[in-house]
Amino acid sequence: MTKPIPPIAEQRPHSYERHGITVSDPWAWLRDPNYPKVEDEAVLDYLKAENAYFEAVMAPHQPLIDTLFTEMRGRIKEDDATVPQRDGDWWYWSDFETGGEYRRWWRRPVAGGEDELILDEPALAKGKEYFRLGALSVSPDGRLLAYAIDDDGGERFEARVKDLTTGELLDDVIPGTLSELVWTADSGGFLYGLANEQWRTDNARLHRIGTPVEQDVELYHEADEGWRVSVGETQSRRFLVISAGDHVTSEVRLVPADDPTAEPLLVKAREEGVEYDVEEHDGTLFIHTNDTHPNFRLATAPLEAPSDWQEAIAADPHFYMTGVTTFAKLFVVEGRLDGLDQIRLHDYAGGPARPIEFPEASYVVGLGDNPEYDVDTLRLGYESMVTPGTVYDYDVASGELTVRKVQTIPSGYDPDKYATERLEITARDGTAIPCSVVYPKDFPRDGTGKLYLYSYGAYGYAIPPGFSTSRMSFLDRGMAFAIAHIRGGDDLGQQWYLDGKLEKRTNTFNDFVDVAKGLIELGFTDQGKIAIAGGSAGGELMGAVMNSDPELWGAVVASVPFVDVLNTMLDDSLPLTPGEWPEWGNPIEDKAAFELIASYSPYDNVTAQPYPPVFISGGLNDPRVTYWEPAKWAARLRATKTDDNVLLLKTNMGAGHGGKSGRWESLKEAAEEMAFVLWQLGVEG
């Protein structure tokens, strides 16, 4: 059989100068100048050639892909349904039909009656290559359903309204939304936000049912191009919430739900570096904020003086307070104690917190769907690396936990076959980095084992040590699976996040490498036997550690990777760039930021050295990591690396940042990535 020949992207001389430094970018032409339209024939021809090469290289491994897909599908209950939850006069839930790609949304009267299908995603998605439901919200009177859909992956959603009493769609259609849809108290309208030309939501608008969209009222407009606006509501539903912010600062306004055009109440004017969010109970505001400590505290203030914050719960260096929800009879504080999830109940009258206890040493738990204000039970979601997803109802009065649902694994699951540990591995600067590992109980600890290491490490996003049915295909082939809780996420608190951004960004890359080396020292694996994976900013991580320590990795999966960091942060015409400067730095104005980003940007630091096998994916319609980032990176790697290891680039021509939509189509992509890893690590199928 003739070995497939990889396509070679043409190099076209292109360079620019910033801060007295010249940067060469010979693959800059892969960005279509008419983006977001991509019509340049040379660009499309190259992407199609890479896709054809991908198909040819993976064709011999199709039996393994099919086997993995069958395994993973067999662990998913095809006709799965959520646990019904009460909201007012109705029970609401969703389900899948056997074989269905998308959800159906249902309700039933609490007083008794027939099930009502309120939204049929399979019908809406029929004939479409891509489909995603964004917002979905039923009006307070239960009569109208507002929802928003995206059918190309570009994340510009079209909002529509359905009359649930007749089943008819109303004439109210709003294209270009990028927000939740939040109803007013009288069910006569809803708040939403439009994406502007730069794909930034800089507004909050009010639409009245039955009126032309052109007459919608703009309740708030944000002038700072780096800030985004979102809409929501307090748990009491007394106020609509208009929030504005970037990655480091926030500002909140409240609007009476029964008087949405009233002057918005500014809770507290923006202050650089201060983030806060707001709940309300009986005329008192509950403010969750980091104004005095990175781990956040809880303050209260009267509605009449919303900026007069009085401390209710002080910040704790060991407890990272992640959220506060106010219910009628109590309020709930969520957070992580030294990295372990906690749910704590508090009485408004005072007294000690009441934590909800769980027996496992490491787990993920949080409030689930709790739409009502006056509740006697709380819906919780729980899982661990060995415990499938579990839905609990917690009785507030008795403290009893009632299991409402345990994730069904039709093909079978025996937790006694696996073991899990939470390790601490010392990084090069002396910092202890947590690492969660799960493995078969007979896994060897002599360095002969194969290991899959995953991480993200940006935006303060923690990777929880949760359960995965797909992961079992690695475990059942004798591999171990690890999550590195590196700096850049907020796994151990907001300071953990701050220690992996801006001028401290390289801590993230070093932590990941040092965790891998620590796992080798502990006997879990050895150099060249580690597969690594990350997406988006986690894809940037993959590119950075491929450049710095290529010999460690046996296979790399980089999904929609943010690898052209320098060029993207220099281009303020791109949708995300101004809002990203607080995360990465502004290389346009700051020479030090330019030099730091240039020192680690994966695309700019590809060198003539051997690289591990790599599988890169992108989406043509991706507004977050534009398609040319993975394309340019793949092109430079092909032209520069000195090995003959396989390099694959797959571009979804009809999807965006999340890859293909639909639970089975996305599972097929997961099977492809897994087959690539098993092939490269030499693990038997």
Return the closest-CA partner of residue 630 out of 655, 602, 608. 602
- Spatial CA neighbour of 104 closest among 113, 114, 115: 115
Query: Which residues, at least 6 apart from 641, have a Cβ–Cβ distance to it below 8 Å?
Result: 606, 608, 609, 610, 611, 647
Cα–Cα nearest to 378, from 397, 360, 364: 397
The torsion angle over the Cα atoms of residues 233, 234, 240 and 242, rounded to 10 degrees, is -80
The helix (H) or strand (E) run that includes residue 402 is strand 401-406
User: Rounded to whole angstroms, how far apart are CA atoms 593 and 587?
Assistant: 5
Backbone angles phi, psi at 259, to 5 degrees: -150, 65
Q: Is 622 a catalytic residue?
A: yes
Of the listed 436, 617, 622, 661, which one is catalytic? 622
User: Residue 107: which H helix or E strand, with range?
Assistant: strand 104-109
CA distance 573 to 618: 21
Query: How many Cβ atoms from other residues are within 10 Å of residue 466's Cβ?
Result: 19
For residue 340, what is the enclosing H or E element? Answer: strand 340-347
Q: Which two tokens stand for residue 452?
A: 């899959």
Q: Alpha-carbon distance 52 to 56, whole Å?
A: 6
Tell me the backbone φ, ψ of residue 158, rounded to 5 degrees.
-100, 120
CB 663 within 8 A of CB 96: yes
Q: Which of 247, 288, 485, 657 is catalytic?
A: 657
Please write down the long-range contacts of 442-449, taking CB distance under 8 Å and 24 or more positions apart.
443/419, 443/478, 443/480, 443/524, 444/523, 445/522, 445/523, 445/524, 446/523, 447/520, 447/523, 447/524, 447/525, 447/526, 448/526, 448/529, 449/478, 449/479, 449/480, 449/524, 449/525, 449/529
* Sheet (strand 390-395) strand order: 364-367, 377-383, 390-395, 401-406
Are 574 and 626 in contact, with CB atoms under 8 Å apart?
A: yes
For residue 536, indicate whether it is catalytic.
yes
From the list 468, 536, 601, 661, the catalytic residue is: 536
User: Tokens representing 78?
Assistant: 């095809």
User: 376 phi and psi, to 5 degrees?
Assistant: -110, -15
Catalytic residues: 536, 622, 657
